[in-house]
Amino acid sequence: MKIGFLTNCLGHLELPELAGWAAENGFDALEVGPSIRLDPDDFQAARAAGLEITALTFCRNFMCDDQAERDGLRSDLLARVQFAADMQIPRVTTSTGMIPGLTLEENVERCAPFLDSILGMAAGGGVEVCLENCPGTGNVAVSPYAWRLLFEAVAHENLRLCFDPSHLIWLFIDRYQAAEEFVDDIAYIHAKDTILDRAVLADRGVHMNSDYWRTTLPGAGETDWARLLSVLSDNGFDGTISIEHEDPLWMADDDDIRAGLLWAKAHLEKTINASEHQIGADNG
């Protein structure tokens, strides 16, 4: 498995600078977020540094009420799909969009035609469209049940998942079971974790309360990464692990953010190496 990171945590920097630092510190890939300009020369520079581009990521509510905003967001997403095709970037990661007040099933029905059009254009350029499972970006693709509905409603071979276990934790969804069920649909992983405050949970529950959880770097939260990566690799996954750094304890400045990325990378490498060593011992 290769290890990269999503550029959002350092998104104010230019891509060549990010790529240079990433390559110097042993990362294999970059997932490029929406603040990075779509400049072909910058992307060529990143590749020249030895990095793969995992995906372009642009998650927004593509079914928002305001038509001008909605049209603008959809146009921006289409531009990224076209750029990915032109630059031979294998995938674009996004959200479904959602209309508040509708049921999940109704939202799937409403978003399906838009996803159909995006997927058709992407397929023509050899691009996969990956749905991230973050509930906070105008998105209904947040659970195994929703994924089944979407894969049934939008039957395209280039529809995949960007699997982020951190959101499943605070939604109380079994991330290991979900990973095993959907392993063939997972294009790559967002390496992000969540820690639960059980004292707050015991006192306040989850209704009208979001203070019971906090985002962390992988290795500082609830996920057993050895177990999760074993579930995936045992079922044939060999994609990129893209660190999505949103841990507020490692966000004081750029140096702190970089230190957080390196800490997460070291934890993931140790986990992968231990797993590979165990597999070798079992086969010996």
Q: Name the band, by pLDDT with cuts 50, 70 and 90, for residue 274.
A: confident
pLDDT at 278: 55
pLDDT per residue over 153-193, tens digit each? 999 999 999 999 999 999 999 999 999 999 999 999 999 99
**Type of residue numbered 43:** F
Class assignment of domain 2-283? alpha beta
Q: Name the band, by pLDDT with cuts 50, 70 and 90, for residue 45.
A: very high
pLDDT per residue over 208-262, tens digit each? 999 999 999 999 999 999 999 999 999 999 999 999 999 999 999 999 999 999 9
**Distances, alpha carbon 23 to alpha carbons 15, 46, 244, 271, 275, in Å:** 12, 9, 17, 21, 24
Residue with the larger pLDDT of the pair 276 and 263: 263
pLDDT per residue over 114-153, tens digit each? 999 999 999 999 999 999 999 998 999 999 999 999 999 9
What is the domain partition of the chain in residue ranges? 2-283
| Cα 271 from Cα 192, distance rounded (Å) | 14
| Cα 9 from Cα 170, distance rounded (Å) | 22
Environment class of 103 (CB within 10 Å of its CB; exposed 0-12, middle 13-18, buried 19+): exposed
pLDDT at 277: 53
Within 8 A by CB and 6+ apart from 156, the residues are 116, 119, 120, 123, 129
Name 195's bridge partners: 214
